[in-house]
Amino acid sequence: MNMKRLLSMIFMSLFLIPALLFATGTKEQAKDSAGDGIITLSVYHFLDQTDKTTAPNFQYLVDVFEKANPNIKLSFEYGYGEAFHDKLQTMAMSGQLPDIVLLYPGERTSQVTNAGLVQDLRPYLSGHEDEFADMAMQGQGKNGEIWELPEDISITSIMFTNNRLLKELGLTLPKTYEELLAQGPAIRAAGLIPISIANKDAWPMQSCVAGMLVERACGLEWFDKAIAGEARFDDPEFVYAMQIIKDLTDKQMLSPGTNQLTYGQGLDDFVQEKAVYFIDGGWTVNNMVGELSAEQKTYMSLESFPDIPNQKGQSLSTSATAGQGFGMNAKLSKAESDAAWKWIWFYSGPEGSAIRQRFGRLPAYNLAEPKDADPMIQKLVAYAGKVPMGYVMDSVLAAEPIGTFNINLQNMMFGTKTPKQVAQELEAMVAAIGR
Amino acid sequence: MRKRLTLASVLSSMLMITFTLLTIIPLTWMILSAFKPHAMIVRTPLAFPMSWYVDNFILSWTQGHLGIYFINSTIYSFVATFLTVFFALSSGYALSKFSYKSSRVISMVYTLGLLITVHSVIVPLFIMETKLGISNTRIGVILPYIAFGLPFQVFLATTYIKGIPDAMQESAIIDGATFFQVFFKILIPVATPIISTMFIYTFLGNWNEFILVLTLTSDLSVRSLPVGINSFAGGMSRDYGLQFAALVIGTVPMILFYLVFKDKIAQGFAAGALKE
Amino acid sequence: MTFSQQKRMSYYAFLAPGLLLFASIIIFPVAYSLTLSFTSFGGYGTPKFIGLANYAKIISDEVFLHSLRNNLLIVAISVFGQIPLGFLLAYLLHRKMVRNGNFYQTMIFLPITISPVVVALLWNQIFSSSGMVVAIIRRLTGENQYVMRIFEDKQLAIVPILFVLLWMHTGTYMIIFYANLQKMTPSLLEAAQIDGASESQMMMRIILPSMVGTIATTAIFAISGSLKAFDLIYAMTGGGPAHYTEVIAIYMYINTFKYYKYGFGSAASMIIVLLAVGLILLLQYISRKFERRFE
């Protein structure tokens, strides 16, 4: 008897101790504990610390900022890939969001923004709205809040073209989709890949191809309606866009085994001139700056996917979205918020943008064209200035429908789902979640 | 007898050789590739390195902060393993030699622990640790390592200690020794073979653990080797040379560790660890 | 303090540190996620109780069923592949049917020392289109666009993963069996040999019966390990392409951490536990029957 009571008491306390821990609130840490006027802010950033290009570039920006602001100390934590999002989510759920955090404009980080964990940046930004691309100033919250100040404009669909190979094969840049398809046999006969794209991770086909094709096949007006719920994703126009991806696959226009190639192998094949075309986002220019030789840079050009038959959208359009950027924790004090804003404004505002432009990015902040930049960067800026832009699907739809859609595109390429089924399932999921 | 078994022994040699090649070839390929620059790995994946390109190692060691990760991995593995084995032994002693009714229930609870994936506890665990203020500290990593190591180790310890004759401890108790004296002076020396097996298994598991340390820590200074290796390999980092070098750095110490202690593993199991 | 009090106190003292850690770090969070599994909790706000709806939805989800099938295949490859192979290898080594047994033993066990993440990357590199296997085939056939189509087949995509799992874990079972074989009294086998028993008779009549307990125990570890398999598969394929190689742990992970469906994800992880308990009970039932037959 005695033992039983003791045992049950032990068990009770085992359960109670952690329960109490959950129940108690978290102490706010004092940021200026030393009283020396230095504000320390924690920053959570998406960065591959081993990347030979982006990591040193980012460090350079931090160094410039810290030199100019000796009273602000930034302490960084980096996450990368899926791990970044897992950790962010865990931090958000436990109320341990860092002071400054990298967020995405669309649904990807909505668990942070929707929960009211970050501040609306509009009061800080007011007066500067015109200095940014319009796309970057679109409201991100239900009431038009700006949760993060976009650093870049992401053009997600560029058809990089190797003009040397084209010439060698006696081909010219295709004006129409049919012309592109007609080039397939000649390119393959030469032992080359027509269009290099690596889709193992399932997002590239959606982000770099589908959004662009939807704008072409359906037009921007339809796209707006579909997002608002006035048009349906199983409309024939949308199915037609899916059909084009299916055709590209069936006619062997894409990298062989594209669905088993990890992202990056697409670029590898292009840099090694095993592929004539390469579809990817504008962010890859960053890598091309370092990886293409000076000679290669003279004959690699940035193009749009050719126009498709019965096109309703704009000619040679691409898909683009305002990119990620830093937001700040809603719990910050006035002084901390001001310090955090200094960093955000430095990073996405004129100073940081100018630096990042030189590194090969496409800042959302309006800048003059860079005269002394790398040729590939100049090409990217020129490309961005001339093409019409539609939406990127994952920036306008929620995480779960997009996740399923990405996978369904793979299913469709394997022939286990038809374009029509893919469209219907997307419509069903979007409708179920509520637009 | 030898004659009669010729066919069998040829077949069995072939089986052994197949398994051996399956181990040696990938590992050799990994080590050789680590000495090749990225471009060579992609163009000629099968070729022998033309020269011993050690920059991969230097770069991945410095860029990936593998030095500090290495130290942390060592600390986590040793401390957590030592404590896991110790707690498992004491639990095993209590569960196998005290014959209280609650022992059965507690053993079952531990067995259920074998079935729990790290992911299903990671969010509540993180919340708990942040409230306690031990997230992002070494303690915050070591405690969950112990907890996740316990179920299997308690099982090993219990079955082993069950096999030790009762007479040994009973006579000591009659002579006036306390249970603690019995545990430290009699049990632990007798259990040496199983202790080394438990130690090696737990150590290997802790050395390779990734998800807990990734989620529960954020400072570079408290993270461990798998996190460093994964940052080369997990994402879009496309330098295969660096990737292979990081893999070699993460793998070779454990292979050496195993080669040194391998006889102990066999001994431990031979001592009856996994026999009902 | 009486003797029995002293004994009881010692009992608790021995158990306390382990149990305290285990309860607060594993049992409590599991209880927490069991509770969440009956809600539609999405990361913020108050969880809404929805009864068994999550479970119902999971069981009727095609992706879950394919994941379950993959998990069962992994259980099968461990129980009917790794364990018998491990036993066979151990037996061959024990009966000294090969020379250099020590060397082989070392080599076969070696993969277990390597982290699953590293194993995955290594084999991915080997199978990838820029990897070793494809390079060899391309050279042999002269077909420079060759890729392995097995990864794109809904039914077969899991096979390369099963192969890697077999490679990774057979060594563990071999060591366990080898150790237990060495523990057997050699006189028994010698006596049988003198009586003219053949190799296969000795195996069936003497060795196997004495190993039933060990086999059952290893099978428990094989089952529990197989059902929570995550690291290797996630690092190799992430469950893709098109969910073909997904397992329940990945299904749970994607729903929890990518789609923010905590309640749903918790229900999936509870299903893993339920399945494992079910399979292990079944196994214990079977092994008890066997033990009785051999007695």
Ranges A194-203, B170-179, C190-199: which has the least confidence: C190-199
Q: Considering only CB atoms, which chain A residues are within 8 Å of B238?
A: 264-265, 267-268, 287
Domain that holds residue C246: 50-294
ipTM surpassing 0.90: no
Is A172 part of the contact surface with chain B (CB cutoff 8 Å)?
A: no
Ranges B223-227, C80-84, C207-211: which has the least confidence: C207-211
The domain tally of chain C equals 1
Task: Determine, for residues B63 and A50 on separate chains, whether the beta-carbon distance falls below 8 Å.
Answer: yes
The domain tally of chain B equals 1
Domain that holds residue B186: 58-270
Chain centroid to Cα B22, Å, comes to 22
User: How far is B177 from chain A, CA to nearest CA, in Å?
Assistant: 23
In chain C, which among 31-50 make CB contacts under 8 A with chain A?
31, 42-45
Q: Considering only CB atoms, which chain A residues are within 8 Å of C148?
A: 257, 260
Question: Closest partner residue to A261 among C129, C149, C254, by Cβ?
Answer: C129
Question: Closest partner residue to A22 among B63, B127, B135, by Cβ?
Answer: B127
Chain centroid to Cα B13, Å, comes to 30
Is A15 part of the contact surface with chain B (CB cutoff 8 Å)?
A: no
**Confidence at residue A13, expressed as pLDDT on a 0 to 100 scale:** 53
Task: Determine, for residues C128 and A15 on separate chains, whether the beta-carbon distance falls below 8 Å.
Answer: no
On the question of pLDDT at C50 being above 50, the answer is: yes
Is B60 part of the contact surface with chain A (CB cutoff 8 Å)?
A: yes
Is B68 part of the contact surface with chain A (CB cutoff 8 Å)?
A: no
d(CA B28, CA B14): 20
Cβ burial of C96 (10 Å; 0-12, 13-18, 19+) is: exposed
CATH at residue B236: 1.10.3720.10
The most confident of A324-328, C95-99, C204-208, by mean pLDDT: A324-328
d(CA A391, CA A146): 18
Choose, out of C113, C169, C181, C183, the residue to mutate when testing the contact with B (most B CBs < 10 Å): C113
> In 3-state terms, what secondary structure has residue C147?
coil
Q: Considering only CB atoms, which chain B residues are within 8 Å of A92?
A: none
Question: In 3D, which of C107, C208, C76, C221 has the Cα closest to residue B274?
Answer: C221
How many residues are present in chain B? Answer: 276
d(CA B90, CA C84): 34
Angle, vertex CA C277, rays to CA C275 and CA C281, nearest 5: 120
On the question of pLDDT at B246 being above 50, the answer is: yes
Identify whether the C-beta of residue B145 lies closer than 8 Å to the C-beta of residue B80.
Answer: yes
Identify whether the C-beta of residue A360 lies closer than 8 Å to the C-beta of residue A377.
Answer: yes
Choose, out of B56, B134, B238, B240, the residue to mutate when testing the contact with A (most A CBs < 10 Å): B238
Task: Determine, for residues A77 and B215 on separate chains, whether the beta-carbon distance falls below 8 Å.
Answer: no
Is B96 part of the contact surface with chain A (CB cutoff 8 Å)?
A: no
Choose, out of B236, B239, B244, B247, the residue to mutate when testing the contact with A (most A CBs < 10 Å): B236
Question: Closest partner residue to B150 among C22, C123, C257, by Cβ?
Answer: C22
What sign has the CA pseudo-torsion C26, C28, C34, C39?
Answer: negative
d(CA A278, CA A387): 18
Identify whether the C-beta of residue A367 lies closer than 8 Å to the C-beta of residue A357.
Answer: yes
For residue B265, what pLDDT band results from cuts at 50, 70 and 90? Answer: low
Task: Determine, for residues B87 and C131 on separate chains, whether the beta-carbon distance falls below 8 Å.
Answer: no
Task: Determine, for residues C276 and B24 on separate chains, whether the beta-carbon distance falls below 8 Å.
Answer: no
**Confidence at residue A4, expressed as pLDDT on a 0 to 100 scale:** 54
**Confidence at residue B90, expressed as pLDDT on a 0 to 100 scale:** 94
Q: A149-150 and A325-328: which strand pairing?
A: antiparallel
Domain A156-320+386-433 bears CATH identifier 3.40.190.10: yes
- In C47-108 the beta strands, taken as DSSP E runs, fall at none
Topology of A39-152+323-365 in CATH?
D-Maltodextrin-Binding Protein; domain 2 (3.40.190)
Q: What's the average model confidence in pLDDT over C46-71?
A: 92
Q: Which residue of B has its CA nearest to A28?
A: B131
Which part of chain A is CATH 3.40.190.10? 39-152+323-365, 156-320+386-433
The most confident of B153-162, C13-22, C31-40, by mean pLDDT: C13-22
Cβ burial of B79 (10 Å; 0-12, 13-18, 19+) is: middle
> In 3-state terms, what secondary structure has residue C171?
helix
Residue A267 tokens read as 């670029």
Question: What is the number of helices (H) and of strands (E) in chain A?
Answer: 19, 12
Q: Considering only CB atoms, which chain B residues are within 8 Å of C108?
A: 16, 19-20, 23
In a domain, residue B184? The reply is yes
The gap between the terminal CA atoms of chain A, to the nearest Å, is 60
Question: Closest partner residue to B42 among A83, A86, A272, by Cβ?
Answer: A272
**Confidence at residue A190, expressed as pLDDT on a 0 to 100 scale:** 92
In chain A, which among 75-94 make CB contacts under 8 A with chain B?
77, 80-81, 83, 86-87, 90-91, 93-94
Question: In 3D, which of C106, A435, C10, C282 has the Cα closest to residue B265?
Answer: C106
For residue B273, what pLDDT band results from cuts at 50, 70 and 90? Answer: very low
Helix (H) or strand (E) holding A194: strand A193-196
pLDDT per residue over B104-130, tens digit each?
Answer: 889 888 988 887 878 778 878 887 887
Angle, vertex CA B237, rays to CA B234 and CA B238, nearest 5: 120
Task: Determine, for residues C147 and A260 on separate chains, whether the beta-carbon distance falls below 8 Å.
Answer: yes
Ranges A80-89, A332-341, C78-87, C89-98: which has the least confidence: A80-89
On the question of pLDDT at C100 being above 80, the answer is: yes
d(CA A170, CA B209): 54
Q: In the complex, which subunits touch C with 3 or more CB pairs below 8 angstroms?
A: A, B
Chain centroid to Cα B46, Å, comes to 32
> In 3-state terms, what secondary structure has residue A79?
strand
Specify the higher pLDDT residue, B46 or A345.
A345
Cα distances (angstroms) measured from residue A166 to each of A179, A282, B33, B79, C108: 13, 22, 33, 61, 51
Specify the higher pLDDT residue, C17 or B120.
C17
Q: Is C239 left (phi over 0), alpha (psi -120 to 50) or beta?
A: left
In a domain, residue B68? The reply is yes
CATH at residue C263: 1.10.3720.10
In a domain, residue B12? The reply is no
Task: Determine, for residues C243 and A93 on separate chains, whether the beta-carbon distance falls below 8 Å.
Answer: no
**Confidence at residue A176, expressed as pLDDT on a 0 to 100 scale:** 95
Task: List per-block mean pLDDT (blocks of 10 residues) for chain A, which spans 435 residues.
Answer: 53 51 45 68 86 83 94 88 78 85 83 86 92 87 89 94 96 96 94 94 93 94 90 94 96 92 87 94 86 93 96 93 92 93 95 88 86 88 90 86 93 94 95 77
Q: Considering only CB atoms, which chain A residues are within 8 Å of C241?
A: 200, 202, 259-260, 410, 414
For the beta carbon of residue C95, count every other beta carbon within 10 angstroms.
19
pLDDT per residue over C239-260, tens digit each?
Answer: 878 899 999 989 988 888 788 7
d(CA C247, CA C267): 15
**Confidence at residue B210, expressed as pLDDT on a 0 to 100 scale:** 82
**Confidence at residue B252, expressed as pLDDT on a 0 to 100 scale:** 87
Choose, out of B212, B218, B229, B232, the residue to mutate when testing the contact with A (most A CBs < 10 Å): B218
Q: What's the average model confidence in pLDDT over B159-169?
A: 84
d(CA A155, CA A326): 19
β-bridge mates for residue A39, sequence order = A72
**Confidence at residue A5, expressed as pLDDT on a 0 to 100 scale:** 57
Task: Determine, for residues A87 and B242 on separate chains, whether the beta-carbon distance falls below 8 Å.
Answer: no
In a domain, residue C10? The reply is no
**Confidence at residue A12, expressed as pLDDT on a 0 to 100 scale:** 53
Q: Considering only CB atoms, which chain C residues are within 8 Å of B254?
A: 113-115
Choose, out of B42, B120, B127, the residue to mutate when testing the contact with A (most A CBs < 10 Å): B127
**Confidence at residue A10, expressed as pLDDT on a 0 to 100 scale:** 53
Q: Strand order of the sheet with strand A72-79?
A: A72-79, A39-46, A100-103, A325-328, A149-150
**Confidence at residue B255, expressed as pLDDT on a 0 to 100 scale:** 87
DSSP letter for each residue of A348-414: HSHHHHHHHHHTT--BSB--PPPSSS-HHHHHHHHHHHHS-EE--HHHHS-HHHHHHHHHHHHHHHH
d(CA C35, CA C46): 13
